[in-house]
């Protein structure tokens, strides 16, 4: 049966290296499910596959967007499933990988078919958020959709704003449009989670941030600094460097230094990796492996793909 092997796990765990190996073994392209590696202007800070890696194995959804482009998990689902329908004509097994939780879920299970939010509403909600702050937006969400207000992480401004966009776009509560129905896929899904001991993972994360700095992350951040207000740049690595460039102050009232910003990148990346694991661990269909167990992972895919 045609099978999609989804390799997921926290940032820095070793997905890229493993997927290149698996792609060679199964003669497969790689479908990325990373919401930030799609933006062409920020390959260093998103740890996007290098040109040598993409020359070796065909990758999809890498560097295909500009920072200003609107994109969503819903659009990703539509485009990725259409692409898979084409690729499965040539391949028995296709490798997909990423750490973006919503994109993984959209690929495997689908997401609710919500209406596309108009640019005018999106801009208006974002402008209000910048002028009024999160507390005001949360209060409005409580009034417009008390059900979702009780469910959402109220500190996650992106989810709060998205819910408000849908409320304003449709005139209905966002919660009424969320069905949670699981989409049927015309292929087998094999979910493989990658994990390492926490200390080992944290050491890898710290080392990778240092490597990003050596490769030119600071210059990359300076190039995109004029666009820092875009949602595509609201991500670990750029947020910390932008604060340093802005002359932000620490809790002690001292100016951020470059060294302090780099340490904050490492810290916030480690925090994000824990959030990823919490999300991924909730799915009982995922089989967990150490990334170094290539033979075990390969055998598992072969067994499930029969």
- Report the CATH number that the domain containing residue 160 is assigned in CATH: 1.10.20.140
- Rounded Cα–Cα distance for residues 207 and 91 (Å): 36
- CATH number of domain containing 50: 3.40.50.300
At 274-300, the pLDDT tens digits run 989 998 998 999 999 999 999 999 999
Domain containing 301 equals: 3-113+187-196+280-305
Q: Which residues pair with 107 in a beta bridge?
A: none
Question: Do 101 and 130 share a structural domain?
Answer: no
H-helix or E-strand spanning residue 193: strand 188-194
Residue 206 belongs to what H/E stretch?
A: helix 198-215
Q: Specify whether 58 is located in the same domain as 192.
A: yes
Indicate whether 170 and 226 sit together in one domain: no
pLDDT tens digit sequence for 23-46 = 999 999 999 999 999 999 999 999
Same-domain status, 33 and 100: yes
What secondary structure letter does DSSP report for 8?
A: E
The number of domains in the chain is 3
Instruction: Please report whether residue 222 resides in a domain.
Output: yes
20 and 72 together in one domain? yes
Instruction: Please indicate, yes or no, whether residues 25 and 107 belong to a single structural domain of this protein.
Output: yes
Residue with tokens 């402008």: 127
Q: Is residue 128 part of a domain?
A: yes
Beta carbons of 219 and 54 less than 8 angstroms apart? no
What is the rounded average pLDDT for all residues in the chain? 93
Average pLDDT of span 230-235: 89
Please indicate, yes or no, whether residues 32 and 90 belong to a single structural domain of this protein: yes
The string of DSSP letters for 149-182 reads HTTS-TT-HHHHHHHHHHHHHHSS-HHHH---PP
Strand-pairing partners, residue 31, are 60, 96
Predicted pLDDT of residue 177: 78
Read off the pLDDT band of 269 (50, 70, 90): very high
**Position 179 confidence tier, pLDDT thresholds 50, 70, 90:** low
């Amino acid at each position: 049966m045609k099978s999609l092997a989804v390799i997921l796990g926290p940032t820095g765990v070793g997905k890229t290296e493993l997927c290149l190996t698996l792609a060679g073994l199964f003669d497969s392209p790689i479908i990325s499910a990373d919401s930030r590696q799609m933006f062409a202007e920020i390959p260093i800070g998103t740890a996007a596959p290098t040109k040598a890696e993409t020359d070796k194995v065909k990758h999809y959804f890498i560097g295909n967007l500009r920072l200003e482009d609107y994109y969503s998990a819903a659009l990703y689902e539509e485009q990725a499933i259409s692409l898979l329908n084409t690729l499965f004509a040539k391949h028995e097994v296709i490798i997909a990988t990423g750490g973006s939780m919503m994109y993984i879920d959209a690929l495997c299970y689908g997401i609710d078919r919500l209406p596309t939010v108009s640019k005018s509403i999106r801009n208006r909600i974002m402008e209000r958020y910048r002028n009024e702050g999160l507390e005001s937006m949360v209060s409005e969400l409580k009034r417009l959709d008390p059900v979702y207000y009780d469910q959402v992480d109220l500190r996650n401004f992106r989810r709060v704003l998205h819910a408000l966009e849908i409320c304003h776009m449709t005139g209905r509560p966002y919660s009424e449009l969320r069905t949670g129905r699981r989409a049927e896929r015309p292929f087998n899904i094999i979910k493989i989670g990658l994990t390492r001991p926490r200390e080992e993972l944290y050491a890898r994360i710290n080392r990778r941030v240092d490597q990003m700095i050596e490769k030119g992350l600071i210059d990359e951040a300076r190039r995109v600094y004029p666009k820092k207000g875009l949602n595509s740049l609201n991500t670990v690595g750029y947020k910390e460097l932008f604060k340093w460039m802005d002359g932000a102050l620490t809790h002690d009232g001292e100016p951020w230094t470059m060294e302090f910003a780099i340490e904050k990148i490492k810290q916030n990346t480690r925090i994000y990796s824990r959030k990823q694991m919490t999300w991924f661990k909730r799915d009982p269909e995922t089989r967990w492996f150490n990334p170094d167990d290539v033979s075990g992972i390969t055998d598992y895919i072969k067994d499930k793909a029969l």
